[in-house]
Chain A
Amino acid sequence: MRVSGCPIWVDVVIEVEQLSKTYQVADKTPGFVGTLNHFFRRKTHDVQAVSHVSFTIEPGEMVGFLGANGAGKTTTLKMLCGLIHPSAGMVHVAGYVPQRRQAAFLKQITLVMGQKQQLIWDLPPLDSLSVNAAVYGIGEKEARYRINELAEMLEIGEELTRPVRKLSLGQRMKAELLAALLHRPSVLFLDEPTLGLDVNAQARVRRFLAEYNRQTGATVLLTSHYMADITALCSRVLLIDQGELIHDGGLDELAASLSPFRQVRLELNRSASPEDFVGYGELEALDDRAVRLLVSRSELTVVVARLLANFDVLDLEVNDPPIDELIGSLFRKGRVV
């Protein structure tokens, strides 16, 4: 393990151990009396936004960070950037302790937030880029070269000379990405980078991020509500729920840990009735000869053997339930059971 705050080459770029953050939140009942009470005797309670989270990320990995609203994704991301001081636990990013916010650390990271923008509203993106170039100490020639390079990858050109307020959301996001990447960071924190974009613009941003990762070997930690972002970019996901990390692993394993069932699709030679499938698992759908069953993972092989023995099966397919449905149901429930 390396010395904290010392920028040496490491095989782990992000290291988080037992990270926790507790916020004090004021309680206020609605109405005038509630307001008065709130003013004179303010009551607060502690909210554990992030609780004992541990994980490591290797250089060049693209990791998806999933969770419902308020699950603690953004808080964790902000602790990794050094914006928020952790209440407990340890964080190292690129060999630095983020909350010290040393210049050498800040030059290696970037944060893109789909809901906030750093570009100057009234001016063309190029003006904001010139400010960033000066702040990061990038020479004029070098800045121009990098802007051209990134603009080409992002497929923007003359938008860079139009006032930001006149750009579409998709164009603006691309310019935001350009501004966030001008200093060639090696660690990218992306908080909902495709938020509000139409399907085409989302796909373009995704393509760009994959390309950037491939070309520069940058490490990417990405949160998104669009499963398509995650499935397209990340082979590994972290799932956080009520401040706790409940899954860290491959996207495919996520299905296993989220759902104890697998989906069995059958196509039969003859039509069947629902009663025929009692004892095989949960019948999801039955449409004449097409059957969809949810079968518990542990009994899968036994059940499939019995199905093949007892029915005249034309076709059989075993799948994980679609990942976005699983995650969707998780977010709706607000809690994994």
Chain B
Amino acid sequence: MGRYLLSLQRFWATALAGQLEYQANMLIDLLAMVGSLAGSIFVLSLFFGQGRELGGWSWEAALVVQGIYTFLDGVSSTWLRPNLSAIVTHVREGTLDFVLLKPIDSQFWVSLRIMAPAGLPEMGLGLVLIVWAASRAGASFSLGTLLVAVLMLCVGGVILYALWFVIAATSIWFVKTWNATEVLRAVLASGRFPVSAYPPTLRLVFTLVLPVAFLTTVPAEVILGRAAMQMLVLGLFLAVIFFVGSRAFWLFALRYYTSASS
């Protein structure tokens, strides 16, 4: 375990150092992040301004969903996007060989090797938005709700990770999977709004097929103290299934890895 923690520390330290080599790039990343956040809040305010409701959610309550979405988007920019798109490069250039020959879990390596700090402020802003909007919406924070909320955020993160990881892992056969991850991102963008804002059929899809509901809506419901117990259990169950599934899929895919020829 200590070896994994130390490895993780070195992974991120070198990733950070590598990115700091390019100052201008770093600055542009930060600017892009600020722009995207301002844009999404603006869109949200267009859709339903103060006093209006969306699928039974008040403006403030919906802002909690937006906050969680922002937070998760920050998590994706920090870890998921850079790491999982690197899998495609690893496969195309055959450098996955080096990862597979290290005495460390290969899924751990390809999932956590890189950290892009440009996503961290977005995570921070997401958290600020969550706390601010939740207190405006009249949520009461107890230690219990906080713990469950963190747990459900983790559930959302794990589901998002597993979906993304499986798509990235298919690059072992298809090599190019950029397009598939774009489709996934578009679907996940639907997590900006509470699930109840969508028509019933989509709601079902977002709960069971592509569990977008568990990424943002359910954690928001926990924070706002209106979560249904069965949704929490279902979310935990799905997270375990998705994670175990992603792991099995990776091990299965590696059997077909032929390693780009030299």
Q: Which residues of A contact B (CB under 8 A)?
A: 23, 74, 78, 81-85, 101, 103-104, 106-107, 109-111, 113-118, 120-123, 127-128, 130-137, 163, 191-192
- Chain B residue at minimal CB-CB distance from A165: B21
Question: B7, B95, B102, B258: which contacts A106 (Cβ < 8 A)?
Answer: B102
B143 within 8 A of A: no
Given A82-B100, A135-B104, 8 more A-B residue pairs with CB atoms under 8 Å apart are A74-B261, A78-B259, A101-B101, A116-B97, A116-B98, A123-B21, A130-B14, A191-B262
Q: Quick one: given A110-B101, A134-B6, are A115 and B262 in contact (CB under 8 Å)?
A: yes
B183 within 8 A of A: no
- What would 20 A/B residue contacts be, using CB atoms closer than 8 Å? A78-B97, A81-B97, A83-B100, A84-B259, A101-B100, A103-B103, A103-B104, A106-B101, A107-B103, A111-B101, A115-B262, A116-B95, A117-B95, A123-B18, A127-B14, A127-B17, A130-B10, A133-B10, A135-B3, A136-B102
Q: Quick one: given A130-B10, A131-B14, A134-B3, are A116 and B101 in contact (CB under 8 Å)?
A: no
The answer for the CA separation of A288 and B6 in the assembled complex, in Å, is 74
- Chain B residue at minimal CB-CB distance from A98: B101
- Chain B residue at minimal CB-CB distance from A195: B262
Contacts of A120 in B (CB 8 A): 14, 18
Q: Quick one: given A103-B103, A123-B14, are A111 and B97 in contact (CB under 8 Å)?
A: yes
Contacts of A134 in B (CB 8 A): 3, 6-7, 9-10
B118: shortest Cβ distance to chain A, in Å?
A: 16
The answer for the CA separation of A115 and B98 in the assembled complex, in Å, is 12
- Interface residues in B241-261 by Cβ distance below 8 A to A read 255, 257-259, 261
Contacts of B102 in A (CB 8 A): 106, 132, 135-136
B94 within 8 A of A: yes
A140: shortest Cβ distance to chain B, in Å?
A: 10
B253: shortest Cβ distance to chain A, in Å?
A: 12
CB-based closest 5 A-B pairs:
A103-B103, A106-B103, A118-B98, A134-B7, A115-B262
Instruction: Tell whether, in the assembled complex, residue B14 and residue A128 are in contact, meaning their CB atoms are under 8 Å apart.
Output: yes
Instruction: Tell whether, in the assembled complex, residue A113 and residue B97 are in contact, meaning their CB atoms are under 8 Å apart.
Output: yes
Instruction: Tell whether, in the assembled complex, residue A131 and residue B10 are in contact, meaning their CB atoms are under 8 Å apart.
Output: yes
Instruction: Tell whether, in the assembled complex, residue B97 and residue A83 are in contact, meaning their CB atoms are under 8 Å apart.
Output: yes
- Interface residues in B1-57 by Cβ distance below 8 A to A read 3, 6-7, 9-11, 14, 17-18, 21-22
Contacts of A23 in B (CB 8 A): 258
Instruction: Tell whether, in the assembled complex, residue B262 and residue A116 are in contact, meaning their CB atoms are under 8 Å apart.
Output: yes
- Chain A residue at minimal CB-CB distance from B8: A134
A6: shortest Cβ distance to chain B, in Å?
A: 17
Contacts of A191 in B (CB 8 A): 262
Instruction: Tell whether, in the assembled complex, residue B14 and residue A83 are in contact, meaning their CB atoms are under 8 Å apart.
Output: no
- Chain B residue at minimal CB-CB distance from A136: B103
The answer for the CA separation of A82 and B17 in the assembled complex, in Å, is 32
Contacts of A135 in B (CB 8 A): 3, 7, 102-104
Contacts of B10 in A (CB 8 A): 130-131, 133-134
Contacts of B98 in A (CB 8 A): 111, 116, 118
B77: shortest Cβ distance to chain A, in Å?
A: 19
Contacts of A103 in B (CB 8 A): 103-104
- Interface residues in B182-217 by Cβ distance below 8 A to A read none
- Chain A residue at minimal CB-CB distance from B6: A134
The answer for the CA separation of A127 and B13 in the assembled complex, in Å, is 9
Contacts of B100 in A (CB 8 A): 82-83, 101
Contacts of B21 in A (CB 8 A): 122-123, 163
The answer for the CA separation of A103 and B103 in the assembled complex, in Å, is 4
The answer for the CA separation of A167 and B259 in the assembled complex, in Å, is 27
Question: B6, B17, B259: which contacts A83 (Cβ < 8 A)?
Answer: B259
Interface centre among A103, A116, A121 (most CB of B within 10 A): A116
